[in-house]
Amino acid sequence: MSEKQPYRTSYHFQPQQNWMNVDPNGPMYHKGVYHFFYQYNPYAATFGEKMVWAHSVSYDLINWIHLNHALEPTEPYDINSCISGSVTILPGEVPAIFYTGIDDKKHQVQNLAFPKNLSDPFLREWEKHPQNPVLTPPAGVEVDNFRDPSTAWKGEDGKWRVVIGAHHGDEGKVILFQSEDFINWTLYPIPKPFFAIDNTGVECPDFFPVSINSTNGVDTSVQNPGVRHVLKISHQEKQLEYYFIGKYDSDHENFIPDVKFTGTSLDLCLDYGNFYASKSFFDYAKSRRILWGWVKENETSQDDIKKGWAGLQSIPRQIWLDKSGKQLVQWPIEEVEKLRGTQISIKGEKLLSGSTLEVSGITASQEKVLFELPELERAEWLDASEVDPQLLCSQEYASRSGIIGPFGLLALASEDLTEQTAVFFRIYRAPNRYVCLMCSDQSRSSLRKDLDQTTYATIFDIDPNLKTISLKSLIDHSIIENFGERGRACITSRVYPSLAIDKDAHLYVFNNGVQSVVITELNAWSMKQAELGHEENVGSS
């Protein structure tokens, strides 16, 4: 890692230069190759007025080859940008890009594009359909807030469905369209939208089935008693990814979520940190559903311009329905383990109250730690329904003593701990249950005070018979992705340490709770550099 670029990552996807905006677009698996498209400004490290669909390919979702852009603003219907969208695999293994264009009137319209040469394994060139735009904003939708078509699915009647994010006044909504041929689309005539929410814009909707009894993913068009459905929305005001599990009534084109949106910390998020505009796809190769998310910079635009780039993608995550049926579980794809290098292990180490233990010798790294819990009955009392987790994880909360916790990791820490990002748990008794508070505290992540120092947090129920609790962290120079209790809670952070850089970045395990905590097992690996190269530099198939 260059001293001039201490915050470029080793194994997270990012372009070599300029701005990678928000949305992962149309990720897919097609004939042995993974494709990833993304919103990109080829001219600067800031958001631009002529966004393109950049295109990269991979055989393992970790090492990538950058290709020429797939879509650029060239026609009246997308002349002011080619922005978000999805890919649907049509019969005959024909991928179709469904994307939003900003037209010559600054209206947002929906367009189609198809591969120019299906025999090209990298699908380098794409042709825009002559009937574009195939959808324009319907009545009751703002012309500049009609975007982000989802992956389409096919019903038992043979018709295709797609949902699109929209906004009208104070109402954000998800609206549904149908088509028999994937070219001619009509708004489904129902008196209310597929989904609606007040006081915010809704963008980047995602709608997909999840298996009730398996961690395997299923194709987006699957509808049977063995699946439930998930609707995900990107909440513009809060910049969070909310999701709802529920029943899809295909006869009446109605989605009925199990619980309603409350606007509080009780709502389910894919990630409670810096993670937005996510997109999932079904991986036919390994029968799994994979999720990507955009992780934005927390530095200033001036910082981005100086370093010449902005924006990362999360490590792809496999997602499935928890056994409870009440939430999703997420876990980094297994392929990331191929980058593991030097390993350090700790087993059976007791962390007394106020103790800190260094995990030495690794920088860009992957950690998995299993803590043995003391008796839960000793935990403090908390009515989690009346508490905002972010307020509970207030500044320097990691240093305050509770009974069971805080305990966890100090990542990207300087040797003297003046810089540190604390990722930790604290256990409480609650009415009729036990809960875990999970926090990622950025208040001391950098000596710089002009950076975002948000503390991210969530509370989740834990099994009263639980003997251990786990934390998996992917640490990569300026990003920390955390997966609590086997992927039941996720928090991603971007941090920019001044001291804790490269070999001066330390990792510690700590316990500031009154009760001792045992490290049942900790494994930490240095991570090798992933390959991110342009086609002319790595060759082509």
pLDDT, one tens digit per residue, over 132-187 is 999 999 999 999 999 999 999 999 999 999 999 999 988 999 999 999 999 999 99
> Rounded to an integer, what distance in angstroms lies between the CA atom of residue 74 and that of residue 131?
15
- 502 conformational bin, left if phi > 0, alpha if psi -120 to 50, beta if neither: left
CA atoms within 13 A on the CB side of 521: 6
- Beta strands 254-257 and 532-534, pairing class: unpaired
Q: Are 196 and 261 in contact (CB under 8 A)?
A: no
pLDDT at 539: 43
> Could you tell me which residues come within 8 angstroms of residue 302 by beta carbon, excluding any fewer than 6 positions away?
none
pLDDT score, position 384: 73
Q: Among candidates 509, 473, 506, which has minimal Cα distance to 491? A: 473
Same domain, 317 and 360: no
DSSP 187-226: E---SS-SEEEESS-EEEEEEEEEESS-SS---TT--STT
Residues annotated as catalytic (active site), given as ranges: 23
Task: Output the pTM of the full model.
Answer: 0.96
Q: Are residues 268 and 183 in the same domain?
A: yes
Which pairs from 267-271 meet CB under 8 Å and 24+ separation?
267/242, 268/242, 268/243, 268/244, 268/327, 268/328, 269/240, 269/241, 269/242, 269/243, 269/458, 270/232, 270/241, 270/243, 270/328, 270/330, 270/490, 271/240, 271/241, 271/314, 271/330, 271/490, 271/491, 271/492
Average pLDDT over residues 297-321: 94
CA distances from 63 to 1, 507, 535 (A): 17, 26, 12
Count of domains in the chain? 2
Q: How confident is the model at residue 344 (pLDDT cuts 50, 70, 90)?
A: very high
Confidence grade of residue 395 (pLDDT, cut at 50, 70, 90):
low
Residue 541 has pLDDT above 60, yes or no: no
Q: Does residue 10 lie in a domain region?
A: no
Nearest to 316 by CA among 456, 481, 184: 481
Average pLDDT value for residue range 48-64: 96
In the predicted model, what is the mean pLDDT of the chain?
93
What is the band of 512 on the pLDDT scale with cuts at 50, 70, 90? very high
Q: What is the mean pLDDT of residues 252-270?
A: 94
Whether residue 138 lies inside any domain: the answer is: yes
312 shares a domain with 183: yes
- Interatomic CA distance for residues 278 and 291, integer angstroms: 7
pLDDT band per the 50, 70, 90 thresholds, residue 20: confident
How large is the average pLDDT for residues 452-474?
Answer: 93
Residue 537: which pLDDT band, with cuts at 50, 70 and 90?
low
pLDDT of residue 244: 98
- CA dist., res. 408 & res. 426, Å (int): 9
* CA–CA gap between residue 146 and residue 134 (Å, rounded): 13
Q: For residues 367-393, b (16+ Cβ closer than 10 Å) or e, as one string?
A: bebbbebbebeebeebebeebebeebb
Owning domain of residue 374: 337-527
pLDDT interval class at 199 (50, 70, 90):
confident
Q: Do 355 and 315 fall within a single domain? A: no
DSSP state of 451: S
Domain boundary among 332, 359, 392: 332
CA gap 163, 152 in Å, rounded: 8
- Split at pLDDT 50, 70, 90, the class of 1 is very low
State what percent of residues in the chain have pLDDT above 90.
83
Residues 474 and 521 in one domain: yes
Do residues 79 and 183 both lie within one domain?
A: yes
> Is 122 among the domain residues?
yes
> What are the residues whose beta carbons fall under 8 Å from the beta carbon of 155, sequence distance 6 or more?
161, 221, 223, 250
Residue 22 confidence (pLDDT): 59
Query: Of residues 203 and 20, which shows the higher confidence score?
Result: 203
User: Are residue 52 and residue 77 in the same domain, yes or no?
Assistant: yes
| Residue 343 and residue 325 in one domain | no
| 301 and 430 part of one domain | no
Domain stops at, among 332, 365, 399: 332
Residue 9 covered by a domain: no
Residue 229 included in any domain:
yes
What is the pLDDT, as a whole number, of residue 96? Answer: 98
SS3 305: helix
- Strand 532-534 relative to strand 64-66: parallel, antiparallel, unpaired? parallel
Closest to 384 in 3D by CA, of 286, 471, 462, 288 = 462
Residues 270 and 382 in one domain: no
Name the pLDDT band for 385 (thresholds 50, 70, 90): confident
DSSP 8-state secondary structure symbol assigned to residue 458: E
Q: Is residue 62 part of a domain?
A: yes
* Residues in a beta bridge with 193: none
192-to-125, 172, 254, 263 alpha-carbon distances in Å: 39, 12, 10, 21
Domain harbouring 428, CATH code: 2.60.120.560
* Domain stops at, among 332, 349, 372: 332
Do residues 409 and 367 touch, judged by C-beta distance below 8 A? yes
Residue 400 has pLDDT above 60, yes or no: yes
Q: What are phi and psi of 291, to 5 degrees?
A: -120, 135
Residues 215 and 349 in one domain: no
pLDDT at 490: 98
Same domain, 341 and 326: no
pLDDT above 80 (res 536): no
Instruction: Please report the pLDDT score of residue 535 as a whole number.
Output: 79
First-last CA distance in the chain: 29
Confidence grade of residue 401 (pLDDT, cut at 50, 70, 90)? confident
**13, part of any domain:** no
Give the C-alpha separation, 137 to 372, whole Å. 55
Q: What kind and span of H or E run contains 288?
A: strand 288-295
CATH of the domain at 57: 2.115.10.20
The pLDDT value recorded for residue 540 is: 40
Residues 65-78 have pLDDT tens digits of 999 999 999 999 99
Decide if 2 is inside a domain.
no
What pLDDT was estimated at residue 477?
95
Strand residues in 388-505 grouped as ranges (E): 407-413, 421-430, 433-441, 455-462, 468-475, 479-484, 489-494
Per the listing, tokens 């198809």 go with 114
Confidence band of 388 (pLDDT split at 50, 70, 90) = confident
Residue-wise pLDDT tens digits, 446-455: 999 889 888 9
Q: Helix H segments across 272-394?
A: 301-307, 389-392
